Structure 1
Amino acid sequence: MTQLKTLPTYDPTLFEGAAEGYAQYRTKYPSAVFAKLAKIFNLNGQGRLLDLGTGPGLIAIPLRNQFEEIVAIDPDPEMLQEAKRQAAAVEANNIIWLEQGAEFIDSSLGKFKLATIGRAFHWMEREVVLERLYELLTDDGGLALLNTGDNPWVSSLPWKQAAVGVVKKWLGEERRTGQRGQGIRKPVDPPHEVVIANSAFARQEVYEIIFEKSWTVDSYLGYLYTTAFSLKIFYGDNAKAFEADLKEALLAVEPSGHFTEELKASILVAWKR
């Protein structure tokens, strides 16, 4: 049995103050991603979904009509409050919102046809989550890790490189995360695929969907302020100066202030059987 007492404590500052902006500015998963999931798992409005690290509900809410019931879990109360607001706006009444870490799921939650995790698996104790999740899935069920592929730190686009350059100017060369900007991001090692291969899950496969995303200077600033490496609180009294620098750098690359990129959303599916 995994000893949960050894788990690190969740850092409540990881996305401090970012919940509302997260819902507004983070890249949404294209509808084709959810259509692909529906096809893979024969979703038909029956069964139950478990969405871990739900944030403001960017997966749970769009999938509301594909399941009888959804249980959406996140350790951040501000994210859950925003998720509830977003759900109420579209009358998504079949979602249960729970404030807890994904590592603490257990049989009291019941069985699920599908579990989803968005851009959050790297924040979790992955082996623990996979071990506990396996027992909660029906035999024909599985796990889907979703990603929108918009990470500016690995982009070759000049305007994204310019944006990261401004972040580094103000916060330093190392990528920040947590502890109100004092934490340093560690590489995800080993990759998710390796962790899954070493788990009880039977097989895995990656699906990719190409889509287009457009930004403005303001929306990209809004995006940066929702990331764990560039929360607005990191800049304190320097926020206005940072914003001016960012605007200048982006407009130097693209004077129109409008940016379009081709993104590759990914769905990493792991089947129980």
Structure 2
Amino acid sequence: MKRFTLYLTVLVAGGMLYACQPIQEEAPISLTDIDPALEANVRALGFGTTGMQRVAGGYVVENDIFLDEHQLSNAKQMQLTRVGNEEQYRTTNLVTSLPRTITVSLAAGLPSGYAQALDIAVGRYNAEKLQVKFTRVSSGGTIQFVAAPSGSTYLASAGFPSGGNPYNQVRVNTSYLTATSDATKLNNYASIFAHEMGHCIGFRHTDYMNRAYSCGGSAVNEGASSVGAILIPGTPSTADANSWMLACIGSTTNRPFNANDKIALNYLY
């Protein structure tokens, strides 16, 4: 099966992303063009700089993670840890004030099939009876799905919680995720949407330590030694097939929560 880098990178994958108003994005930058101090801050936060891309207000790293200027400027003050190998991971930032309902909305003009796919994603979370519940609203959601700027070279991106609140935007590349009523595609889109929502509430990639597991190619560790990727107890110490938080996904793949995903979700929420 053809694999796609889920969430950012060159348009060779299927995914989502974050942010709201139309902006002009810049192309990925070479490591030789990154200021050493900036690169050090990115690594201090526990993220790799390969394929790093400059966007409005910050940078996108690891194919779908947005880091804003504030995070980068305060990286050295953050206490981050990493343990484990191929398990479910969370960040040091989670959604608090539980139980709570998080609203999600679609920006006007997005393909009609997105509503169906987002409803499927919301249903998957709510079926787990978590302390975090999602509901779709017509506009102004706590998490807003919006279109990526025309010509974007990434597919998707979302950030992590801040101040106990979920990250507020998922930016979607409509050039790849087009209008559809096909059930296979809708489930694929729902898996992508649920993945980005997972980032918004604090989850990192399941194959964080070796992206080759889901993406193919050479082994790639997404971060450095001290990172915000904390093993969730009860999840496996070996590779976890079909997890909703794997870094890459096939163009027709459906990834509802597997047994270990459910353990991770219920442990945190």
Pick the TM interval, shorter chain: under 0.3
Per residue, is there more helix in 1 or in 2?
1
Q: TM-score, normalised by structure 2?
A: 0.28
Max Rg structure: 1
Q: TM-score, normalised by structure 1?
A: 0.28
Per residue, is there more strand in 1 or in 2?
1
Which of 1 and 2 has higher RCO (CA within 8 Å, sep 6+)? 2
